[in-house]
A and B are shown apart, each in its own frame.
Chain A
Amino acid sequence: MNIDILLFPILLPLIFAVMGLFLKSKKLINYWAVLGSAAVLYCAYVLFGIKQASLVLPWLGHGIDFDLKLYGFNAAILLWVNIFTFLVVLYSTIKMETSTRIKEYYLYVFLTVMFANGSVLADNFVLFLFFWGGLLITLYMLIMLGNLNSYKTALKSLILLGLCDFCLLLGVVLLWKISGSLKISAISLEAQGLAMISFLLIMIGAIGKAGAMPFHNWIPDAAIDAPVTVMAFLPASLEKLLGIYLLTRISLDVFHFQMNSPVSIVLMTVGAITIVFAVMMALIQKDFKRLLSYHAVSQVGYMILGIGTGTPLGIVGGIFHMLNHAIYKTGLFLSSGSVELAAGTTEMKKLGGLMKSMPVTGLCFSVCALSISGVWPFNGFVSKEMIFHGSYETGYLIFTIAAWVGAIFTFASFLKAGHSIFFGAKSTEIPEVKENSWPVLVPMIILSAFCILFGVYSILPLKLFILPALSGHPEVLAELTFTHNLSLLNPIALISMGCLVIAFGLHYLGVKKGQGKAYLASEPVHNLPIIKTIYNLAENRVFDFYEQGVKLIKLLSKVIYYTVDRPIDFVYERVVTVTGRIVIFILRVLHNGRFANYLSWSLAGLMALGYVMGTLIKKAG
């Protein structure tokens, strides 16, 4: 049998997933999983080398085909998806060792990979939805692997992402109606009128997957409830890759929009809001994982902002930021997992001075943290600069300012996290800790290395992975030459460096106010008059889209139930029977069994008959 190579990234994980169920020993399963993810990674690598391929099989009819297409950009995404999978699996061999449900875990991981690979490769929207939606289930199941309460969070993620997916579905269908085609690479439209609605709906699907506001609420909850590897795997890396991948495709290929068109403004607004609000939330978190998860949301804002600018620089920056973010955020989550594994907790209050006993973890954390904060020369700096420049070009300074504000608080919060966990005084609340074994460290080291590599040689990832996304957009390519000699000394870069200084200042002030306790560094901001009330509301989940949505749905349901459904039932149960009973009662009273009564009816009937007959005959003539 001749199986097309494009099917390999989909079928291989499936085979590994199913076969894994039959393995008995835990050790074997771990080896099997590493082997599997390595195999899929290799496969993705080969495909990355091929660059161009396609496969069309008949499927459902009506233009819904099993259509896979490989080109430069999605080959890169495919490669990165599998790199992250491999690293996370490697890491999991230790981190998940204690879990009793390891078999299930790998099953879901492999299924996730399958769906992710499938949706990256799909060139038909229905096929794409098929794989894309499958991720909902695996995400749900993966979160369910966490602690006892994780099912609530799992449901939250399912409902929120389900909402996004349904929007996406509607958008796709609308697009189908407008363009008459479902082939992603064949559609090319102006984002106007109905097409704009379609774009916005698909966009909700994309940014929802990536975790932008207001579809982000499950991520911080999952950070507490779900295993940390799951966080590193899905919200930190895969989902960002996929979400931004989709956003890129619809923004660049499927729809066209001009700089500062309504669509562009919408995107940028969503991005800016996400950046600012999420980072504000991140700032005050006292749990390492929760803090990271808010950053995972906040950083999406940059990507959306970048792509939303509609300027070549911004778009490239957004995509580049997606890749960078996946790298350092995975690294950060893995380091938090490493801390958790060693110390048993991720609460900043209980931790402190781990640098000595866990130098590798600490170092990797530092690299990634500097990266995310956009410190030169790490990769985060390059992509953020591109986004700043891009947004500045649009002329809407407000978005650039929002991005800068984000940068300030990002750095501040990581200063706080690093200070309280790895530096500062040693904590007495936890027992002596040791550095973890190599499968935990290697992924973090690799990721940190990428951070540095992509920062110093930013041209490398740009050429290898990002440029293919822009194939067919010559005007963009022309301007890109500008990017890799981005001068360090331009006004925008200086302002963003200024931001870092402000952040440092804030941190210093905070620590001083908190009597040297680093985890209280964010309190001054937290306690600012108006902001404090907003924070309190946020803590009470007033801004939680899910909680409020659920309340609304419950209310709406109750209203419909008691105003439509029950009244209808009332008609059957009461109105009909009671009316019947009343009529029957009247008739029964009339039939009282008296002979005279009955006789009179008969005679009256006769008279009436005679009269009626008479008139009728007269009428008939």
Chain B
Amino acid sequence: MVILFIILPLIIAGLLPLLGKVSKKVLPDFLANAVFALLLGYSFNFAWNASAGKTILSQVNLAGIPLGITLRLDALSLLMLFTIALVSLGVGIFSVNYINQEKYSSKPIYYSLLLLTVAGMNGIVLSNDLFGIYVFLEIAAIASYALAAYGLGKEELEGSFKYLMLSVVATSFILLGISMIFALTGTVELNGIASVLAYSKAIKIKYLIGICSALFIMGFGLKSAIVPFHSWMPDAYSKAPATLPAMSSGIMVKAAGLYVLIRLFYNVFGITPAVQTVLMYLGVISIVVGALLALGQNNLQRLLAYSSISQIGYMVVGFAIGTPLGFIGALFHMFNHGIFKSLLFLNSGSIENATGTRELDELGGLAKKMPVTAGTNIVASLATAGVPPLNGFWSKLIIIIALVQAKFYIFALIGILASVVTLWYFLIIQRRAFFGKLNETWKDVKEAPFWMSLSSIMLALICIILGIAFPWFIRLWIEPAANVLVAGIIR
């Protein structure tokens, strides 16, 4: 029952506002997290199947009548489902305490938005047609606009608005691209498009596909915040509840952006050197610009947003290499980034929960008062910077190896140097927020509540465990997914 991945969160999302009337807190907490846990467990159900390289195509029917919608579950989409479920579980557990803050009004509605986002992302990942992707993209996006503005402060609304407006531009270009494809091939189904394109050799089609590629790179690139389409991200994140960027940067930019891009380029259109070159340069520019911008930020979440841009650059570069090792590295980094970046955002949520601010220069010496937050933050920071023995190291290492093997020596050097800058800005966070002497203002600060700490610890442990047990993880989850990309155009 592949459809469960979409239906379950959708149904619960619909029910929650109603059930919220009965129990304002406990029931939504429980239900939402149960859904995430269930989805996580359920994704394991397909793991062996997928790692054997099988693809499940399932027709969606309503009471036995086919709706003409096909879902596609292969190793790549399963990896995405797994990541989405894992991160959203972390975020869900974190929200148990976090959304108790006064400025966030209704918990049931919050959870239903969260579930809606997850449903949307799962939909994108599973859809076998461009139109489905577009629809679910909008579902996820609208839910996240609402989440971004959840605190209803002035800046939150402004950020959310900017996010919305830019996204609309992006989605309209995506729609344009989809319609061009439809006009060109007469179908929106991925395998349909693939088979049509595979047989057409006309130069005109190549140009048209080129234009579509440009449209998609811009549209989905904006969703995944690749420079120069990145500008919405810091503004949307800086004031939103910490859980939104955790979800969004952790998984949404990948599911709604990167995933679709690589799916289209590698499995549908067939990769061309032109696209590879473009992606490579965009990736490297993202790495550098993101890292440098992060260096100068004072707002923790803004900083992390820029850091995300930089890290996504690594994934883009990894995918653009086009070698199996590149795929493995990029996919692994995608998963890892989901874990540690959402952990970082959650940490900023913990800090904000305790102190009421996210401005670095107002913080200081919190390690003493908030050991769990500080400890998990170090783990996540070092993982992001690519310091062993944490998971981020291995994925970056694989990407760099792939770059060197493909003879992109300069890009490898830039990647390495950017990770030094990455470490630099994370050390600045450490220095100004945690390490150092305790700021007198915060002498009464307490550690984050139980569920928030639990979620942080869980994610941090994943970082550490994957740092040690990465070979098994790669074999079970990453390699099959990479094989899907290696296999090329789908039939």
Contacts and interface: CB of A to CB of B under 8 A. Distances in A.
On chain A, which size bracket covers the interface?
20 to 34
Interface stretch (B43-51, B60-68, B225-233, B474-482): B225-233
A599 B170 CA distance: 10
A584 B293 contact: yes
B173 interface: yes
Interface stretch (B83-91, B271-279, B381-389): B271-279
A616 B273 contact: yes
A604 interface: yes
Given A583-B292, A587-B296, A599-B169, A609 B162 contact: no
Contact of A598 (B207, B218, B221, B232): B232
Report whether over half of chain B's contact residues are helix, strand or loop; otherwise say mixed.
helix
A614 B207 contact: yes
A609 B231 contact: no
B296 A584 contact: yes
Nearest to B155: A593
B295 A584 contact: yes
B214 interface: yes
A601 B231 contact: yes
A606 B170 CA distance: 10
Contact of A580 (B162, B173, B292): B292
A580 B295 contact: yes
A287 to B, nearest CB: 60
Contacts of B234: 591
B296 A609 contact: no
Interface string A586-605: 01100101010111011111
Contacts of A606: 173, 214-215, 218
A588 B296 contact: yes
Given A605-B229, A617-B274, A587 B289 contact: yes
Contacts of A587: 289, 292-293, 296
B278 A601 contact: no
Contacts of B235: 593
Interface residues of B, number: 36
B206 interface: yes
Contact of B231 (A584, A585, A598): A598
A558 B138 CA distance: 68
Interface in A250-295: none
Contact of B278 (A585, A602, A603, A609): A609
B488 interface: no
A618 to B, nearest CB: 8
A584 B293 CA distance: 6
B231 A613 contact: no
A605 B165 contact: no
Interface string B195-233: 000000000001100110111011001100000110110
A602 B218 contact: yes
Report whether over half of chain A's contact residues are helix, strand or loop; otherwise say mixed.
helix
Contacts of B161: 595
B427 interface: no
B10 interface: no
Given A613-B274, A617-B274, A620-B273, A595 B215 contact: no
A604 B293 contact: no
Interface in B336-384: none
A549 interface: no
Contacts of A620: 272-274
A613 B211 contact: yes
A395 interface: no
Contacts of A616: 210, 273-274, 277-278
A612 B278 contact: yes
Contact of A599 (B165, B275, B296): B165
Nearest to A580: B295
Contacts of A585: 296
A566 interface: no
A593 B166 CA distance: 12
Contacts of A595: 161-162, 165-166
B154 to A, nearest CB: 13
A532 interface: no
Nearest to B294: A584
B405 to A, nearest CB: 23
A610 interface: yes
A587 B289 CA distance: 8
Contacts of A599: 165-166, 169
B217 A602 contact: no
Interface string A320-341: 0000000000000000000000
Contacts of A614: 207, 210-211
A587 to B, nearest CB: 5
Contacts of A554: none
Nearest to A611: B214
A103 B166 CA distance: 89
Contacts of B277: 616
Interface of A: 580-581, 583-585, 587-588, 591, 593, 595, 597-599, 601-606, 609-610, 612-614, 616-617, 620
13 contacts: A580-B295, A584-B292, A587-B289, A587-B292, A587-B296, A591-B293, A598-B162, A599-B166, A599-B169, A602-B170, A612-B278, A616-B210, A617-B210
Given A601-B228, A602-B229, 6 more contacts: A599-B169, A606-B215, A609-B218, A613-B214, A614-B210, A617-B206
Q: Which 4 A-B pairs have the closest CB atoms?
A: A584-B296, A616-B274, A598-B231, A609-B214
